[in-house]
Structure 1
Amino acid sequence: MEERDAVVVAGYRLPKYSVLMSVYEKELPENLNQSLESMLKQTYPPSDFVLVCDGKLTNALDVIVKSFQNEYKDIFRIVRIDENVGAGKAVNKGIKACRYEYIVRMDSDDVSLRGRCLKEMLMFAMDKKLDIVGSYVEEFDDLTDKTLTLKKVPLMHDEIMNYSRRRNPFNRQTVAFRKSKALEIGGYSDLKLCEDYDFAVRMLAGGAKGQNIPEVLVRYRVSESTPEIRRSWRLTKGFVAVRWKLFTEGYIGLRDFFPPCFLQLILFILPMRFTRWFYRKFLRDTKITPPTAEVLGREQK
């Protein structure tokens, strides 16, 4: 399939789109390679790919980047930043560089299933009022590739609005959005952590219409350090900071501010085994239904 060919699915003409990814020196080359490949070999491939290098990369990472640039020279573009500025600022530079109205975000260590972008662009084609789209995400073990859990999110706009007062209503690894709407609300903030949650809320507060696809479209890599990161003081401070920002801006009230912050503090204080148990028991689905499993198998072939 040629990138520039018009693609019609179920009577809808799919819009062209840009992929936006940022990477920094601590990423593993093999993870970056797999992530880039998963996006560039979509069943409906991108017409534009912007990779933001947030600071100087290692030689191994640069080799990966240059190899993809040579192979996909017509669409693959690199935006380099001399010093590491953080995810929010790096992504903002990338948003401005993207050529198309629809932007698909991608992390540099996750894996998109081959039909992800086709399905997300089909959503935009079917509903011209949509501004932000996401999906379910599958968490998998970095060492064994074994599926661990399924993270679901609310599907329709009203549910998404309600959920956003307590948690991010989108799996950040799966998000696609309108460039014009993102620029209208000022892009991502300078928050060091939870900038994706803040971005989603500001999009919704700014009038954006959102929807999630009830299907796994991205595989999220989980390593041995993931539970420790989830309960770390750094993440706890970042989570409380974004909650406080939403409270002072009037998006949430005290009833929405305190319970999530209290829970995050409990996760920080209690032993690691509790954090593991809690995420699997209350925030994740450990059972992937047969239809989802079937989709996963089909997409990864």
Structure 2
Amino acid sequence: MEQKVVPVSLLMSLYIKEKKQFLQECLNSIQNQTNLPKEVLIVFDGPISKENEILVEDFKNSYPESVKIIALEKNQGLGAALAIGVTSCSQPIIARMDTDDIMLSNRIEDEYQQFLKNPKLDIVGSNIDEFSGLMTNILGSRIVPETDEEIRNFSKRRNPFNHMTVMYKKKAVLDAGNYQPLPGFEDYYLWVRMLKKGCKGYNIQKSLILARTGEDMYKRRGGIHYLVPGLKARKQIYKAGLGSLPDFVFVSLVHICISLMPNGLRGWFYEKKLRNS
């Protein structure tokens, strides 16, 4: 397979709890792209495990001119790590990826082509297939709105992009204030600020990422530790975005209900009500 290099930076944040197997599968999916990013920038959000450090070093040795590492002394959280990463990316277009997810081989090519077709676009994403355990064990898909108008309407109540799928213009992100610390909602907060400033979005209507899910994810979306910060975050998103007061009240009530559900019921709700089976 002939691989073309495109002027894109691939940005990831890696922290100490990432599993070696997940990271290995993630890196493999980068190597298997039909279009390779000109730069892969990995931010170490604080110290990482020795085995993952070796894994990243081997990956860097395979692409010495492309892979760049920024090592932060202390864990600063996803928003702060990505903000540093965005400012450090050398290419005008940045693709995001999580270190435990897997890209389909045409992900970068398909999204980059959208920018060539429509230079007015500022952010492009796609749907995702969520799996647990084996990659073939697909639990459901998160389908996001396609057109800019649909994205704007959707953003009033729900996150209109799948974060691990997005590719965006660096300048547009910086003009909107870059990522800002808002645990669990850093991406949603950025999107609404970008949309309010007039940035144009588009979501490809197919899944280009296999995203891990399961009980651990559902646990993180529940309890008082998620309830209170989440309500504060949704208030900030409401004030910065396009939604109305009724939109804010509705999403706050839903957030309270989901946070207080037993974990098993929360998992059922995500898989049956918030995802396409």
> Is TM-score (shorter-chain normalized) higher than 0.5?
yes
TM-score (norm 2): 0.95
Shift of 1:143: 5.0
Deviations 1:251-290 (A, max 9, x none): 432201111111121122232332122222221010xxxx
Unpaired runs of 5+ residues, structure 2, are none
2:190 corresponds to 1:199: yes
Q: Is the 8 A contact 2:103 2:210 kept in 1?
A: yes
> Which residue is 1:188 aligned to?
179
Q: What is the DSSP-based 3-state SS (H/G/I as helix, E as strand, rest coil) of the residue aligned with 2:215?
A: coil
58, 70, 73: which one aligns with 1:82: 73
Distance in 1, matches of 2:241 and 2:209, equals: 33
Counterpart of 1:237 in structure 2 is 228
Shift of 1:3: 4.8
Corresponding residue to 1:108 among 99, 103, 111: 99
2:54, 2:229 → 1: CA distance? 33
Which residues of 2 match residues 43-122 of structure 1 at below 5 A?
43-122=34-113
Identity percentage over the alignment? 34
Measured in 1, the distance between the counterparts of 2:224 and 2:114 equals: 38
Deviation readout 1:204-238 (Å, 9 max, x if unpaired): 11111000000000001113312222223333333
Distance 1:255 1:156, change over 3 A: same
Distance 1:149 1:190, change over 3 A: same
Q: What do you get for the CA RMSD once the two structures are aligned?
A: 1.5
User: After alignment, is 245-254 or 218-227 more displaced?
Assistant: 245-254
In the alignment, structure 1 segments of 5+ residues that lack a partner are 5-14, 287-301
- 1:18 partner SS: strand
Going from structure 1 to structure 2, the CA distance change for 1:143 and 1:223 (only over 3 Å counts) comes to farther
2:263 maps to 1:272:
yes
Q: 2:74 aligns to what SS in structure 1?
A: coil
Q: Which of the residues 20, 24, 31 maps onto 2:15?
A: 24
- Aligned-pair distance for 1:144? 6.7
CA distance in 1, matches of 2:241, 2:270: 29
CA distance in 2, matches of 1:155, 1:228: 30
Q: Which residue of 2 aligns with 1:291?
A: none
Aligned to 2:254: 263
In the alignment, is residue 284 of structure 1 matched against residue 275 of structure 2?
Answer: yes
TM-score by length of 1: 0.87
